Amino acid sequence: MAVEFWFEFASTYSYPAAMRVEDRAAERGVAVVWRVFLLGPIFRDQGWNDSPFNVYPAKGRYMWRDLERICGAAGLPFRRPAIFPQNGLMAARIACWFAEEPWLPRFVRAVYAANFAEGRDISVPAVLAACLERAGQEAPAILDRAARPEAKAALRARTDEAVRRGLFGAPSFLVGDELFWGNDRLDEAVEWAENALAARPADR
Amino acid sequence: MAVEFWFEFASTYSYPAAMRVEDRAAERGVAVVWRVFLLGPIFRDQGWNDSPFNVYPAKGRYMWRDLERICGAAGLPFRRPAIFPQNGLMAARIACWFAEEPWLPRFVRAVYAANFAEGRDISVPAVLAACLERAGQEAPAILDRAARPEAKAALRARTDEAVRRGLFGAPSFLVGDELFWGNDRLDEAVEWAENALAARPADR
């Protein structure tokens, strides 16, 4: 039983979750399935044309302070981005099309660091190219592949799947059909997967 | 340094927080200040005429399951109320006017138990009277006192204070100006207050 980690590159609370999920899961012998999706279409269905953290300013002010505390406690560098939310569409097409590649987690973490620690604009191809290189990849072929119609369609299908399976925000974790929402639920989701593993018959 | 516990009687996640906050704070030598407020006016300012858990069904479905898990883990009885959100106005007027009474925490917990464990309607005076009696009080005088204009005005003022101090949901915790939102932040808020106490000069 794996934990599915559903993330969106513009999502603030996805940052500390993305940086920690692989280590936390490994500590408990749980595999991580990386599942990128887009919040934009989901938020539009809820009547928002912007991040709820911008739509509701009190919530936004709180979130930035809370995120600062969370990153501080986790030892993660954090710098509030000048642009929020950033456009993570191109990054998401890459992360969706190459979801099963062994280098994918390194790329995802590099994009989050660019957005939330380094003040970079993750909609810029050169920034994504640098992230791919940090993950040991040659960028041009991957950027090209991720811009093709089938990669775009794959991300749309993934976002549809997120809605169908009950997701409404990011980060989210799925263990089978059991849904956990928010960076705060990372440990609980991993533990749920660990217990599901332990409860399986001995044919493992 | 105390932790201010800001709650709303209709708020689902306020239930596990209200049942645990006094014990958790006592373990760390931190005092609790009980601060009831109303979410209705705050939600109306955000454009909602109902709980966001009803406005956004996916979020609502998740919340009920999440609350069930939280109560299970904390050993708290839980039964999903037939009516949600309940009308906690009268209970809130009592909790606001008698906020500093030593019996108040017992009353608050009795109201939450009535709402989220016993399937009672907390807008019914007889239900509130039973909660007051569980807190060792004679109900008629208190119900009468809480229905007077100055008690109504006090609750309005308290809700205005909540907005002014940055609150946008419940439960919330304040330690000085430091805001923590959600049942998930109970321990962190209490720890913040404990550290603030420890950092004070020796004139304690």
- Categorize the per-residue pLDDT at B176 as very low, low, confident or very high, splitting at 50, 70 and 90: very high
Whether the pLDDT of residue B202 is over 70: the answer is no
Are B44 and B175 in contact by the 8 Å Cβ rule? The answer is: no
| Secondary element (H or E) of residue B152 | helix B149-164
Whole-number pLDDT of residue B57:
93
Residues 101-140 of B with CB under 8 A from A: none
Please say if the pLDDT value at position A194 is more than 60: yes
Please give the pLDDT value at position A203. Answer: 54
Average pLDDT, integer, range B32-46: 93
Interface test with A, best of B13, B46, B50, B62 (most A CBs within 10 A): B62
- pLDDT score for B134: 98
Asked if B169's CB is within 8 angstroms of A59's CB, the reply is yes
Q: Which residue has the higher pLDDT, A140 or B44?
A: A140
Lowest mean pLDDT among A100-104, A185-189, A194-198: A194-198
Q: pLDDT digits over B129-173, tens only?
A: 999 999 999 999 999 999 999 999 999 999 999 999 999 999 999
- Closest chain A residue by Cα to residue B167: A58
Contact (Cβ atoms closer than 8 angstroms) between residue A117 and residue A77: yes
pLDDT of residue A48: 86
C-alpha closest to that of B92 among B163, B180, B159, B166? B159
Task: Between B55 and A122, name the one with better pLDDT.
Answer: A122
Across-strand partners of B36?
Answer: B7
A66 at B interface, C-beta within 8 A: yes
Question: What value, to the nearest 5°, has the Cα angle with vertex A19 and ends A17 and A22?
Answer: 85
Residue A116 and residue A97: Cα distance in Å, rounded?
23
pLDDT number for residue A166: 96
Q: Above 80 in pLDDT, residue B127?
A: yes
Give the Å distances, CA to CA, from A68 to A13, A51, A63, A65, B60: 10, 18, 8, 5, 28
Q: Which residues of B touch A170 (CB under 8 A)?
A: none
Q: What is the mean pLDDT of residues A110-128?
A: 97
Cα distance between residue A68 and residue A77, in whole Å:
9
* Nearest one of A132, A133, A54, A61 to A90, comparing CA atoms: A132
Both tokens assigned to B97: 């006017």
Asked if B58 and A167 come within 8 Å (Cβ–Cβ), the reply is yes
Q: How far is A5 from chain B (nearest CA, A)?
A: 17
Q: In whole numbers, what is the pLDDT of chain A averaged over residues? A: 96
Mean pLDDT of A163-178: 97
pLDDT for B203: 54
What percentage of residues in chain B have a pLDDT greater than 70? 99
Which chain A residues are Cβ-neighbours of B184 within 8 angstroms?
182, 184
CA distances (Å), A144 to each of A94, A104, A150, B55, in order? 10, 16, 12, 41
Residues of chain A found within 8 Å of residue B180, distances taken between Cβ atoms: 66
Query: Which of A62, A113, A46 lies closest to A86, judged by CA?
Result: A113
pLDDT value of residue A1: 83
Q: Is the pLDDT of residue B194 over 80?
A: yes
Name residue, tokens 């599915």. A4
Q: Mean of the pLDDT values across residues B78-92?
A: 96
In this predicted structure, what is the pLDDT of residue A196? 92
Minimal C-alpha gap between B194 and chain A (Å): 16
B92 pLDDT tier (thresholds 50, 70, 90) = very high
Contact A179 B65 (CB under 8 A): yes
Please compute, for residue B190, the number of CA atoms within 13 A of its CA located in the half-sphere on the CB side.
Answer: 18
The predicted model gives A180-185 an average pLDDT of: 98
Does residue B59 contact residue B52 with C-beta atoms inside 8 Å?
Answer: yes
The pLDDT value recorded for residue A52 is: 87
pLDDT digits (tens, 9 = 90+) for A47-84: 888 998 998 999 999 999 999 999 999 999 999 999 99
The per-residue pLDDT for B1 is: 84
Q: Identity (one letter) of the amino acid at A162?
A: A
Phi, psi of B173 (to 5 degrees): -130, 140
* Complex prediction ipTM: 0.93
User: How does residue B120 score in pLDDT terms, banded at 50, 70 and 90?
Assistant: very high
Nearest to B181 among A56, A62, A180 (CB): A62
